[in-house]
């Protein structure tokens, strides 16, 4: 229940993003840049310092020293390939990590027409659901094995889910004028994360030995590093002011490092 609760918390952050969008007419670019950098810092640090080596230890226990190292690397790059394929087959206007400002969405509401905006918001909601599903498996599995690590991953994912919620809610609101519908679609897109946790519980738990755990964790590390380098950091730099993104990145790494030390 603890692991599932963490996953639910991370997923529902998309709803928080949609609520923020309804109560502001301008995007706080300084905060957005810092927050995206912070999320990337947490993800990169925890992936390369903690998750990768936990996966490696488990795979070495399961298959020996040499094969364990090989499987860890294969799982790591396999995770990158998986998320790259997901991104490749999602239309660019529906990619949940292509962060938009509230003001930009407002301009598009008059330029593109209601139908185009509704389609954009719906595609984005679907894209976020697809992205959140493996993130839910990652958070749930991590929390089962190491509660402290699960908390850190859940917080990082929740932070980067907030602007994703904005990306869903704003175009749907401008196309329909219906705040409830915009919030509902944004909220539902985040539920893919706890659904991923349920799938992990039902189908992976019976087979969760060192080999399965190691491969999942290696893949999760790859996914999180890819998302950070390919999506979060470029988005943070897009809205960067006075090096806020790099300060956020370093802050995220420092907070992650401190939290891991406290849980030793």
Binding residues for Zn(2+): 135, 160, 164
**Which residues are annotated binding-site positions?**
132, 135, 160-161, 164, 193
Q: Is 24 left (phi over 0), alpha (psi -120 to 50) or beta?
A: beta
Cα–Cα distance measured from residue 135 to residue 103, given in angstroms and rounded to the nearest whole number: 29
- With vertex at residue 71, the alpha carbon angle to CA 67 and CA 76, rounded to the nearest 5 degrees, is 155
Q: Is the dihedral of CA 47, 48, 49, 51 positive or negative?
A: positive
Instruction: Provide the annotated binding site for Fe(2+).
Output: 132, 135, 161, 164, 193
**89, exposed or middle or buried, with CB in 10 Å at 0-12, 13-18, 19+?**
exposed
* The two three-digit tokens of residue 74, written as one number: 């294969």
**Beta carbons of 197 and 139 less than 8 angstroms apart:** yes
Q: Which residues of 65-78 are buried (b: 16+ CB within 10 A; e: fewer)?
A: eeebeebbeebbee
Over the range 121-148, which residues count as b (16 or more CB within 10 Å of their CB) and which as e?
A: bbbbbbbbbbbbbbbbbbbbbbbbebee
Helices 210-227 + 65-88 axis angle, to 10:
40
For 203, other C-beta atoms within 10 Å of its C-beta total 10
CA 102 to chain CA mean position, Å: 20
Tokens of residue 98, six digits: 């292509």
């Amino acid at each position: 229940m603890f692991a599932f609760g963490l996953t639910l918390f991370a997923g529902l952050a998309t709803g928080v993003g949609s609520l923020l969008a309804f109560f502001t007419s301008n995007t706080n670019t300084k905060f957005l840049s810092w927050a995206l950098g912070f999320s990337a810092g947490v993800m990169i640090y925890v992936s390369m310092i903690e998750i990768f080596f936990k996966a490696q230890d488990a795979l070495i226990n399961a298959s020996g020293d040499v094969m364990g190292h090989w499987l860890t690397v294969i799982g790591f790059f396999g995770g990158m390939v998986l998320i790259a394929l997901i991104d490749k087959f999602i239309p660019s206007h529906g990619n949940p990590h292509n962060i938009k400002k509230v003001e930009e969405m407002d301009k598009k509401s008059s330029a593109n027409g209601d139908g185009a905006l509704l389609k954009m918001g719906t595609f984005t909601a679907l894209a976020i659901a697809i992205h959140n599903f493996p993130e839910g498996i990652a958070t749930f599995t991590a929390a089962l094995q190491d509660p402290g690590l699960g908390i850190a991953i859940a917080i990082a994912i929740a932070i980067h889910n907030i602007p994703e919620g904005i990306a869903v809610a704003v175009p749907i609101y401008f196309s329909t004028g219906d705040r409830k519908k915009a919030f509902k679609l944004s909220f539902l897109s985040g539920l893919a994360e706890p659904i991923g946790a349920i799938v992990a519980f039902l189908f992976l738990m019976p087979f969760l030995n060192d080999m399965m755990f190691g491969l999942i964790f290696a893949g999760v590390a790859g996914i999180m590093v890819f998302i950070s380098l390919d999506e979060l950091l470029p988005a943070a730099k897009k809205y960067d002011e006075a090096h806020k993104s790099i300060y956020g990145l370093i802050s995220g790494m420092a907070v992650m490092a401190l939290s891991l030390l406290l849980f030793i």
